[in-house]
Structure 1
Amino acid sequence: MDGVDFDRWAVILCKPDAVARGLTARILEMVTAAGFTVTDRMDVIAEPWQAHVAYRDMLADTGRRDMRDLPAYIDAAYAGKPVTLALAHGEPGIHARLRQLIGHTDPTRAVAGTIRGDLSDDSLAVARKENRLVRNLVHTSDDPEGARREYGTWYGPGRRLQINDFDRCSVVLCKPDAVARGLVDAVLDRIAAAGATIANRIDVTVQPWQAHVHYWDLLVDADYFPDRDIPTCLDDAYAGKQVTVALAYGEPGIHGRLRQLIGHFDPTRAAAGTIRGDLGNDSLDAALEQKRLVHNLVHTSDDADAARRDFGTWYGARRRRLLTAPSADVPLQPTRTH
């Protein structure tokens, strides 16, 4: 797991009692509603060794009075039982925020609004009386090192964490006309309001090669525009101009949903309610007459392969660390690159 930033990743373990009570989906919904991105849900039949590693700190604590019985309690609670795993993505500090969300170990001491406070039906006192582990539904990683260990425990040491899942990530390019008209915030707000998580906003001064790579299809199909010099059009529209780029995260299918949201490439044909339909002020006819590109505010990646290429074009291949999916409530932090 070298190279994975576990400051931004946490493992969610929905325990056997959560599965038995049919609460797994509700727990993960509460995590999502708190602003975290939840992915990679997986159902597992727990093996004894996995539970032993998960509770290693308790098992190795020689000061515990119930040390003699603890291994039996753990085996009774977990071995051969179904659990559900998921990954939560956010910014550094995710582990402490998730621990607050799940609440106190003893459900009777967990406050309202926490997962254990709202959903649990057990108590530490009853568990001790019945000689078993307390049933408190869910565990999340304590810290980055805990997340690293728990990922290997539950997902398997041979399974590489996919930090660049372009099925769930689209690149949003706010074009020079959006920047010039002061519409970047409006465009990104519309995308966020549609359910995408926006992060890693950057301002870029466009280099010619970036416009050429981004519009490679126009350059290759230049015969379709016999009256226009496409390379010159691209340079005039983009080279040395300011654009704003951001990443939009969501579930698989995000690319199609965002393409519907931005609307037809000709703003005069874009439906009301789309970004280009509501905010565009240009037309394909005017662009053809003036032998230039149409000003249509925004681009989003067509599909996962395009998102991969768009990321390399606008962020640079060496900035892959940005691809860790963020918490939905992370504020935009603009930076400038040239």
Structure 2
Amino acid sequence: MSRKPASGAVVTGIDFDRWAVILCKPDAVDRGLVDVVLDRIEGAGVSVRARTDLVAEPWQAHVAYRDMLSNPGRFPADLPTRIDNAYAGQRVTVALAHGGPDIHARLRRLIGHTDPTKAVVGTIRGDLGNDSVAAATGGGRLVRNLVHTSDDPASARRDFGTWYGPGRTLKVSDFDRCSVILCKPDAVERGLVDAVLERIAATGATVANRQEITVQSWQAHVHYWDLLVDRDWFPDRDIPACLDETYAGRNVAVAMAYGEPGLHTQLRDLLGHFDPTLAAPGTIRGDLGDDSLTAALTEKRLVRNLVHTSDDADAARRDFGTWYGAGRRDLLIAELPTQNTPADAWPHLET
């Protein structure tokens, strides 16, 4: 099995400048308003097709709300629970909307404000909504606002892969100089976290803000959203189940690596090939890895390859919000040690 292409390459043949995904949420389904919502969208001169009714899986809701989940400083601490309560096992309807290059902006104006009480007359939420942000906040739940449409072409690509499945045809100044290091469960269980961080520090990067945490399911889903969206590249494995088995409820260690522009590429080269048997000597996976893609495929699981570092500045931003919480931006500008410190002296976050 060859390495998967960059995320997004699987979804071909669709011009997402002109296509958007419509998600009729569980409250629209429960209130019998799906036909009304889709008729309103078609009445605005937008072509609606490929309607599909389905039961939402937890990972789909996690990926759909990944920007909120990876920015917990702005949202309630129990946001993952609220999302699960609203979506997991609930019926939703999705459809595709086709129009001109302004399709995304047109649809967002048509559906109206997030809070139905603030949505103007003539919008879907303004005319059909029966909830409010105030009521939702008081009830410890998500606001029921009937419908979502893709924000822009990039969101449409992600929404399409999330709700329809890939293969169907029809960017950060602070983070240029820092990367999130994720020492995976196998590194923790084999006692290799210190060794991994020492290897990274030896490159000249400053390693700090180490933290041990127990992984929540949503964190694994947000972190590996591309595997979930492009999961048809892995027909031999149930990717959502593999992620939950590998990560949920298990311990990982995270740390920050600080350096100069180019840090992301430097660290990815240091890690080596994702299959430890193909990683070169001198790389972390090549020297410390004890698993193989062949074994993982045979056992229908994810390969155990010890460590992840952020691919680029955008990934570092997402990784930071996922594993530390976006509210900890002080870690991005904190004073750093003047030299790398040994593993037993790396500062740990207070918990």
TM-score (norm 2): 0.48
Which residue is 1:210 aligned to? 219
Aligned mate of 2:284, from 267, 272, 275: 275
Quick check: 1:168 aligned with 2:182? no
1:64-92 per-position Cα deviation (integer Å, ceiling 9, x unaligned): xxxxxxxxxxxxxxxxxxxxxxxxxxxxx
1:200 partner SS: strand
Q: Identify if the C-alpha distance between structure 1 residues 287 and 186 changes in structure 2 by more than 3 Å, giving closer, same or farther.
A: same
Q: Residue type of the partner of 1:301?
A: S
Which residue is 2:263 aligned to? 254
2:274 partner SS: coil
1:166 partner SS: helix
Q: How does 1:189-200 map to 2 (within 5 A)?
A: 189-200=198-209
Deviation at 1:256, TM superposition (A): 0.2
2: distance between equivalents of 1:304 and 1:213? 16
2: distance between equivalents of 1:165 and 1:327? 18
Which residue is 1:334 aligned to? 348
Q: Identify if the C-alpha distance between structure 1 residues 180 and 336 changes in structure 2 by more than 3 Å, giving closer, same or farther.
A: farther
Deviation at 1:295, TM superposition (A): 0.2
2: distance between equivalents of 1:220 and 1:231? 10
Quick check: 1:299 aligned with 2:308? yes
Q: Identify if the C-alpha distance between structure 1 residues 336 and 278 changes in structure 2 by more than 3 Å, giving closer, same or farther.
A: farther
2: distance between equivalents of 1:320 and 1:215? 22
Q: How does 1:22-41 map to 2 (within 5 A)?
A: none
Which residue is 1:321 aligned to? 330
Which residue is 1:22 aligned to? none
Deviation at 1:226, TM superposition (A): 1.4
8 Å contact from structure 1 (residues 198, 247) kept in 2: yes
Q: Identify if the C-alpha distance between structure 1 residues 336 and 231 changes in structure 2 by more than 3 Å, giving closer, same or farther.
A: farther
Deviation at 1:166, TM superposition (A): 0.5
Which residue is 1:49 aligned to? none
Deviation at 1:225, TM superposition (A): 1.2
Contiguous gaps of at least 5 residues in structure 2: 1-171
Structure 1 segments of 4+ aligned residues over 3 angstroms from their partners: 328-331
Deviation at 1:227, TM superposition (A): 2.4
Deviation at 1:164, TM superposition (A): 6.2
Q: Identify if the C-alpha distance between structure 1 residues 284 and 274 changes in structure 2 by more than 3 Å, giving closer, same or farther.
A: same
Contiguous gaps of at least 5 residues in structure 1: 1-162
8 Å contact from structure 1 (residues 261, 275) kept in 2: yes
Q: Residue type of the partner of 2:276?
A: P
2: distance between equivalents of 1:244 and 1:164? 25
Q: Residue type of the partner of 2:281?
A: A
Deviation at 1:322, TM superposition (A): 1.0
| Number of matched pairs | 175
1: distance between equivalents of 2:173 and 2:325? 14
Q: Residue type of the partner of 2:187?
A: A
1:134-180 per-position Cα deviation (integer Å, ceiling 9, x unaligned): xxxxxxxxxxxxxxxxxxxxxxxxxxxxx961100000000000000
Which residue is 1:240 aligned to? 249
Q: Identify if the C-alpha distance between structure 1 residues 290 and 328 changes in structure 2 by more than 3 Å, giving closer, same or farther.
A: farther
Q: Residue type of the partner of 1:327?
A: P
Q: Identify if the C-alpha distance between structure 1 residues 233 and 297 changes in structure 2 by more than 3 Å, giving closer, same or farther.
A: same
8 Å contact from structure 1 (residues 266, 296) kept in 2: yes
Q: Identify if the C-alpha distance between structure 1 residues 209 and 336 changes in structure 2 by more than 3 Å, giving closer, same or farther.
A: farther
2: distance between equivalents of 1:197 and 1:273? 20
Which residue is 1:80 aligned to? none
After superposition, the CA RMSD in angstroms is 1.5
Q: How does 1:1-338 map to 2 (within 5 A)?
A: 165-325=174-334, 326-329=336-339, 331-335=345-349
1: distance between equivalents of 2:173 and 2:219? 21
TM-score (norm 1): 0.50
1:239-279 per-position Cα deviation (integer Å, ceiling 9, x unaligned): 00000000001110000000000100000000000000000
